[in-house]
Amino acid sequence: MKHLFAFFFAIGLSAILYAQDPTPAAKGVTYGAGTTAEGAISVNDLNAKMSDDKFNGKIQGKVVEVCQEKGCWMKVEQANGEKLMVKFKDYKYFMPKNIVGQEVVLDGEAIVKEVSVKQQQHYAKDAGKSDEEIKKIKEPKKEVQFVAKGVLVL
């Protein structure tokens, strides 16, 4: 009986430990529906390619921030100093925390969205920002967000 308990305990512990992070971000790894680099535009060209505040297709850029709680969002660097918020289609997959610094291709849709103060504060908390930084967020803002159905690490 002791051996049976130890076996199930080990299985349960393994499941918990290995469920913490998705597959580590390495060249060629895909998440979600997966994608290829073919036809991807630079994240810096996204705003120019948007029509009626929307864009469907692939973009490429460097990840500069990721949710430190679950990997449920990330941000991609833009040449103008802003960061593009990236979420994942239907909340079906997450990014590993070691994806920061990696070049990625995102396949999905960009939309202009108004982000509430509460939501901005939530993102700031997920990113590990200090309480002082979080309290400075006092106004909603409009921003372009990308909903990725697939991500490829380059």
Express each pLDDT in 1-58 by its tens digit: 554 444 444 444 444 444 445 577 899 999 999 899 999 999 999 999 999 999 999 9
User: What pLDDT is recorded for position 20?
Assistant: 46
Q: Residue 41: phi, psi to the nearest 5?
A: -105, 160
Comparing CA positions, the residue from 95, 56, 91, 51 lying closest to residue 75 is 95
Q: Cα separation of 47 and 96, whole Å?
A: 27
Could you tell me which residues are beta bridge partners of residue 83?
A: 77
- For 134-149, what is the mean pLDDT? 95
User: What pLDDT is recorded for position 4?
Assistant: 47
- Which helix (DSSP H) or strand (DSSP E) does residue 18 occupy? helix 2-18
Q: Which residue stretches of 19-151 are H helix?
A: 46-49, 117-126, 131-135
**pLDDT band per the 50, 70, 90 thresholds, residue 128:** confident
- Which helix (DSSP H) or strand (DSSP E) does residue 92 occupy? none
User: What pLDDT is recorded for position 12?
Assistant: 46
